[in-house]
Amino acid sequence: MHTGKRMTGDPLERLLSRPKFGIGPAVPRLEDIRQQLPRAQWLSRHRAIHVTGSQGKGSVTTLAAALFDALGVRCGRYISPHLLAASERIWINGSAPQDTALRAAAQAFEAQEQAYLNVHPGEAFGAFEALTALAFNAFAAAQVETAVLEAGIGGRHDATRGAAGTLAALTGIDLEHTALLGAHEADILEDKADICPPGGLLIAGTLKPALRERLGAHAAARGFAVEDCSASTGVTATGYTEHGALVDLRIDDLHVAGAQTRLFGRVQLENAALAILLVKRWLAREARWPGNTEFEAALRAMLSQNALPLRFTRVDEDPVTIIDIAHTGAALRALTKTLDAVLGTEPCVFLIGVSSDKPAPYLLAALRPKAASFVFTRARHRGYEPSALAQLAGDIPVHLAEDAAAAYAEARALARARAVPLVVTGSAFLCAEVYMIAAGNDPAALSFL
């Protein structure tokens, strides 16, 4: 399903207009595209970095790419989904490519696609695969030295695997996309972990002990190594400013005290530590370690300059309004802890939408202890019916609204009346809509995949 206005002259929008999934396995198609690319530094010696997980993978991808930029390493970044504009997906050296570069990359992909389909006429490239292939071409044309690629869903069959990198990150595991990845966390873990090929290194974020043990056994069977991020890093928030947390960091033997960040909450800080460790391991592999002094200066600059869009983003003061795209049970529980740490322990009004492929009972259970009331609406893209969500609210007062604009107005009135914060969460797509509304813009301009 596609929503919003289409600009057919825009190569990203044109590719987004395709069906989301292709026909046939995606990885061989993207491997074929990679082999058709002109010789590119980021593909030699498998220099690409893959990031997967149930939550936080976009944050890790973004922060790792930003650190490469701060170090002067030419880097491509590929994320999904986009939130406010399709141009968010593909960045090179910290910004979106020029339209002319995107058009050239799209034309190159379309020629490669035709060459592939001439040999495999029963297959088709879906929208995500096409955008991934476009990114490959844009990165090759820009001669980036590495690329940091966020997986779409899972890892084993994800199109980004076509880049063949041997360094990867797994941010964490929660129940999500169970129809595609399996009904149990162990199944989801193994699918996502398979983003890392035999002989590669997978750096793992926070996992339950049983899942960490399962990952070790799976990695041994598949032939890749695992590093526990928490064993190599440490991060402690020492206070908050209006911009974000002040932190003390440890990365291996490097200790960084009092770094100003634009990040909020334990999970964002752990994501930052994982991103920094990924970059450090890549530099070591490439024999490009700049020394502790230069590396510390770069990571301080990265942390002080890079906010994560729609991650604990404050958009109003009357009432205090936070938008956060948390959409798994673990992420929502972490959000409530961040709210306690930053805003205090008072209850909040939650404006909620949940995508129809997410376990809504599990998500709402994470928020009930912090909720003064729920305002339910359906995000314009793949959303649960509000009345279905209302059945899961328990004893929390419930309000229903037909669309995001009406829901936002009602939630603001409730939060003002109770003199408590308003938190918009549960669906990245609803968060994007409300962010547009809060800024005085038309959410109908949004388009999602």
Which pLDDT value is given to residue 82? 86
* Concatenated DSSP letters of 330-387: HHHHHHHHHHHHHH-SS-EEEEE--BTTS-HHHHHHHHGGGEEEEEE---TTTBPPHH
Q: What is the pLDDT of residue 204?
A: 97
The residue extents of the domains of the chain are 11-305, 313-445
Q: Which residue has the tokens 């530094």?
A: 41
Query: Which of 378, 358, 290, 282 has its CA nearest to residue 65?
Result: 282
Which CATH superfamily hosts domain 11-305?
Answer: Mur-like, catalytic domain (3.40.1190.10)
In a 10 Å sphere around its CB, with 0-12 CB exposed, 13-18 middle and 19+ buried, how is residue 345 labelled? exposed
Q: Is 113 exposed, middle or buried (0-12, 13-18, 19+ CB in 10 A)?
A: buried
Residue closest to 285 by CA, chosen among 189, 381, 166, 198:
166
Q: Which two tokens stand for residue 24?
A: 């046939």
Contacts of 365 (CB under 8 A, 6+ apart): 329
Residue 6's pLDDT is 40
Q: Residue 293: what pLDDT?
A: 97
Question: How many angstroms separate the CA atoms of 316 and 341, rounded?
Answer: 19
Task: Identify the pLDDT of residue 179.
Answer: 65
Task: Give yes or no for a contact between 36 and 118, defined as CB atoms under 8 angstroms apart.
Answer: no
Q: How far apart are CA 295 and CA 230, in angstroms?
A: 20
Phi-psi region of 24 (alpha: psi -120 to 50; beta: other; left: phi over 0): left
Which residues have C-beta within 8 Å of that of residue 30, sequence separation ≥ 6?
129, 132, 133, 136, 159, 160, 161, 162, 163
Q: What's the chain's Rg over C-alpha atoms? A: 21
Tokens of 410: 């009602």
**CA-CA distance, 406 to 311, in Å (whole number)?**
23
Q: Which two tokens stand for residue 147?
A: 């690329």
Number of H helices, E strands in the chain: 16, 16
**Range 313-445: architecture per CATH:** Alpha-Beta Complex (3.90)
Place of tokens 């200790």: 255
> CA 363 → CA 175, 181, 359, 426, distances in Å?
10, 18, 6, 8
pLDDT per residue rounded down to tens, the chain (449 residues): 333 334 446 888 889 889 988 999 999 999 999 999 988 778 776 799 999 998 899 999 999 999 999 999 999 999 988 888 888 999 999 999 999 999 999 999 999 999 999 999 999 999 999 999 999 999 999 999 999 999 988 889 999 999 989 999 999 887 666 566 766 898 899 999 999 999 999 999 999 999 999 999 999 999 999 999 999 999 999 998 888 999 999 999 999 999 999 999 999 999 999 999 999 999 999 999 999 999 999 999 999 999 998 999 999 999 999 999 998 888 999 999 999 999 999 999 999 999 887 888 989 999 999 999 999 998 776 778 899 999 999 999 999 998 999 999 999 999 999 999 999 999 988 999 999 999 999 988 887 77
Half-sphere exposure of 177 (CA within 13 A, CB side): 15
CB 167 within 8 A of CB 206: no
| C-alpha distance from residue 371 to each of 127, 341, 415, 422, 425 (Å) | 38, 16, 11, 10, 12
What single DSSP character describes residue 88? G
Cβ proximity of 154 and 192 under 8 Å: yes
From the list 129, 154, 177, 137, the residue with the least C-alpha distance to 16 is 129
Q: Determine the pLDDT at residue 404.
A: 94
Contact 78, 149 (CB under 8 A): yes
What letter does residue 250 receive in the DSSP assignment?
E
Which DSSP letter does residue 200 get? -
